[in-house]
Amino acid sequence: MNAYDIIKKKRDGGELSKEEIEFLVKGIANGNVPDYQIAAWAMAVYFQGMNERETTDLTLAMAHSGDTVDLSKVQGIPVDKHSTGGVGDKTTLVAVPLTAAAGVPVPKMSGRGLGHTGGTIDKLESIPGFKVEIDVAEFVQQVNRVKAAVISQSGNLVPADKKLYAIRDVTATVDSIPLIASSVMSKKLAAGARGIVLDVKVGKGAFMKDLDQAFQLAQLMVDIGFKAGREVVAVLSDMDQPLGCAVGNALEIEEVVKTLKGEGAPDLTELSVTLASYMLLVGGRVGDFASARELVQKNLTSGAGFEKFREMVIAQGGDARCLDRPQDYFRASLQVSVPSPSDGYVTDIDAEQVGLATMRLGAGRERAGERIDHSVGVVLRRKKGDSVRSGQALAVIHANDPYRLETARAMLAQAYRLDQQPPPKRPLILGVVT
């Protein structure tokens, strides 16, 4: 068996056997298959696709390409969540404490941002002292004590995905249903949780632009999880405009705090409550969605979710004082408005453009491993459907560099579309697959 024949078979529309897939994944993980052959194979899959059996075999081979996390010592049913990547998506940091406050253990491994989408670990690192690298024994202990821990994915978890994802990112092969499904589910299976809630983003700021394709992706991931003995729910949510108002690491932490205090943007609050409710369901805490939602809502209103977030921050060495006085910790030196050019309604905010503008400010990486500036970003003052008068702020930019600020200002002005009529309403939750 060799990589050339496997690439050729897929290029010509053939079905790869389990052995061929395992051979390739092993070669990707141990370096025996060079980057150019990995890239060629990814492009062949992009055009020819893979059936459900091939995708399941790819997922399982990738999940076992490195370490797996043993959560058998976690008390209760451990649950996990994953988003396929969005702009301003800080739902993990709202949903995890809301779930943990209801007694369901959440051992969560998260990633850093790349491209126009942000990463939970970068957001958490804007809290002074917060430790994201914790060994598995300590991670499990914290989950048993606090019910929640969010750490960065350990070095040798799913090495085949790390390699393949980095190559897909630069060869225009990210937005392939079997490649996304196997990438997401291999990480979730290796991370060990028994209940998994997926947030599949759909729209201009997401990898899946089309609702039918997003449903296919969601169904495939739920089926793969089922075959691997996990309970999986996928929520499809709108990513045509950024979620909530803040985009940028520390600014998003500030918005998480506001949301957990019950003062969050309606879209962010609604999606976080929905995801946490499904996390209670797959964690076996309640038997139906209505009871789950009631419990989550109660933990939001009472402040129990916020207290759980504070407890988690302290447990991971973070300075929790910044949660009470974010303005003293998190401010960039320059804050400048993007004024509306006319009266009207906001009909569109291009999420990808907002993500890219934030990246140019220094909040995200153009290449893996780059340093980022946690304090910079954008706060949207107007969202889709809002009315605005000429000269009023559409958004406020937080920057530390006047040149980058000007670039971001031009990009944001382009990201907004205004009209005399309000746009038709699009629901936030576009579907659920169980």
Phi/psi at 398 (nearest 5 deg)?
-110, 115
The reply to whether 180 sits near ligand URA by the rule CB under 6 A is yes
Smallest separation (angstroms) from ligand URA to the CB of 71? 20
Give the residue with the Cβ less far from ligand URA, 79 or 184.
184
Measure the CA–CA gap between 339 and 393, rounded to whole angstroms: 4
Among 139, 207, 278, 416, binds ligand URA (CB under 6 A): 207
Q: Which position among 27, 78, 85, 203 is part of the footprint of ligand URA (CB under 6 A)?
A: 85
Considering 57, 89, 122, 161, which one is annotated as catalytic? 161
Based on the shown chain and the rule CB under 6 A, indicate whether residue 58 belongs to the binding site for ligand URA. no
Choosing from 163, 168, 383, 404, the catalytic residue is 168
What is the number of the residue whose Cβ is closest to ligand URA? 183
Cα angle 360, 361, 367 (rounded to 5 degrees) comes to 45
Of the residues 183, 186, 237, 277, which is catalytic?
183
Which residue lies nearer to ligand URA by CB, 180 or 280?
180
Whether 82 is a known active-site residue: answer yes
HEC sequence for 197-228: EEEEEECCCCCECCHHHHHHHHHHHHHHHHHC
Q: Which of residues 149-178 bind ligand URA (CB under 6 A)?
A: 165, 174
Contacts of 196 (CB under 8 A, 6+ apart): 79, 80, 81, 82, 188, 225, 230, 231, 232, 233, 282
CB of 58 to ligand URA, least distance (A): 12
**Does 184 sit near ligand URA (CB under 6 A)?**
yes
Annotated active-site residue 168? The verdict is yes
Phi, psi of 78 (to 5 degrees): -70, 135
To ligand URA, the closest distance from the beta carbon of 184 in angstroms equals 5
Q: In the annotation, is 374 catalytic?
A: no
Answer yes or no whether residue 183 interacts with ligand URA by CB under 6 A: yes
| Alpha carbon distance 366, 372 (integer Å) | 10
Q: Which of 59, 84, 120, 353 binds ligand URA (CB under 6 A)?
A: 84
Alpha helices (H) along 264-420 = 266-282, 289-301, 304-315, 321-324, 326-329, 351-361, 402-415
**Binding marks (x or -) toward ligand URA, 376..405, rule CB under 6 A?**
------------------------------
Q: Active site includes 371?
A: no
* CB of residue 165 to ligand URA, shortest distance in Å: 6
Partners of 335 in the beta sheet?
A: 398
Find the shortest distance in angstroms from Cβ 188 to ligand URA.
9
Report the chain's C-alpha Rg in angstroms. 21
The Cα diameter of the chain in Å comes to 66
User: CB of 203: closest distance to ligand URA in angstroms?
Assistant: 14
Query: C-alpha dihedral over 284, 289, 295, 301, to 10 degrees?
Result: 140
β-strands 344-349, 387-388 pairing? antiparallel
Catalytic residues, by residue number, are 82, 161, 168, 183, 187
The site for ligand URA (CB under 6 A) is made up of 84-85, 165, 174, 179-180, 183-184, 207
